[in-house]
Structure 1
Amino acid sequence: MPPQDGSSAPALPGPAAAIRPRVVVQCRDRMLGDALVEWCGRQTPFVAVGPAADGAALLRLCRTHRPVLVVLDAEGGACEALAQLPPPRPYVIGLRSSRCPRGSVSASAFNQLIDRSGGLPPLAAALHAFLAHPVVTGTAYYRLTAREAEVLSLLGTGLRTAEIAVLLGLSPRTVDNHRRRIYAKLGVQCVSHAVAAAASAGLLPPPAILPQPVPLTPRERQILELADRGLSTKQTARVLLVSAKTVENTWRHLYGKLGVHGRAQALAIVHSWGGSPDAAPVDPQSS
């Protein structure tokens, strides 16, 4: 999209059509599970993975794919496994049979609980309600304007407000306004958390040259994981029982390792390795 004032600027990549939020399916009945995965995968804008047979398999899929939505068998107890996931918790649609006794399934464990004997129409209605949910990170991207999507992508490269303003031909105040609207739509409070939320949901365009993972120490992994959840330096220090200065020094070492200048860019690069800091090799020199 060209700058609003008509001046020339480098061409920007648009939102990639292949970047789509992920839905994980869990069902004890493999044939039904396969059918649900195929059907969900045909619904815009989802990519469906699974099916998982039980709670353990569901947890593995969620840790690998970081879905924004889970469709699962409400009667198998698999929903309990989701409590082991770090926030943000995926939106959960539970499917129960008409033979399920009332009260045997806790509706509070699900965002929506539907009767699967009704076929696809109730599930389609549940997916529509999910897409309209205001705090679903993966689908909030589709409610961003084209300009907000551009700003989000540039934030992921580590650019600051003034630099983005020059590149897009906007005023810094306009860029700040776009940032505030992005934060509101993604339900975050800072740029690093916005980029982490977008990257974990697969919403950032991949870099032109995919960086190779570099070894990380256990402390670096911990700090990246906490930043991925939106924690500040002081909050990270409290969780790890270290000083804020220690956290800041670790960030400086990370910037050098990754060749970046800020947390947002660091998180975007780490997610490009495969979804989380766990995708990085372990530093053999770490204690």
Structure 2
Amino acid sequence: MKKTAAAAPIRVVLADDHDLVRSGIKALLSLVEGVDVIAEARDGKELITLVESLNPDVVMTDISMPGMDGITAIAHIHETHPEVRMLVLSMYDTVDFVKRAVANGACGYLMKDAPPFELEQAVRSVMATGSYFSPAIAQRLLQPSEPTVDDELTHRQVEILKLIAQGRASKEIAFELGLSPKTVDVHRARIMERLRLNDIASLTLYAVRKGLIKP
């Protein structure tokens, strides 16, 4: 990568649940003059904690992570630290993912298979212009999109769907969310009705396709 002088370092926090991926991204960014990776997170909750304590310039995060996912973390950070530029680095390139990320506060999106020089381009662009979308993603945005999971389900239903897709029983879900098992069952029935799905396998497939859980 070409090194470019910068008046002040751009402070970056990385978030990805795969150590090898984070190490690779950090190594590439270390070649860019004026960009400093100051911390790394393995999930959305850890990312929020780091942003609270370090107040970085840029967050570069995956979407699909265990526990709190990237979208939820982005929404929280955008609300509490709107000045932080949030850049999604994902393996998912569907319009649904991109629009969900942007709707929750992301200002940039690029793919994990992007050429290395694009990392520098993305970081500098979100700092200079407030946004960056790789050519491949920009092309996707021109295509018509299907309804997002947020269009189809309430926040509580999304929470329950994720746990159902992870194989949790109604009692486990009820305990984790502070609900009664009967309430969880009612939510599950409504989720199936709204999505027009008839079994747990179909719900799980939907959750994978929408990026709510990893395949």
The normalised TM-score by structure 2 is: 0.47
Rg larger in structure: 1
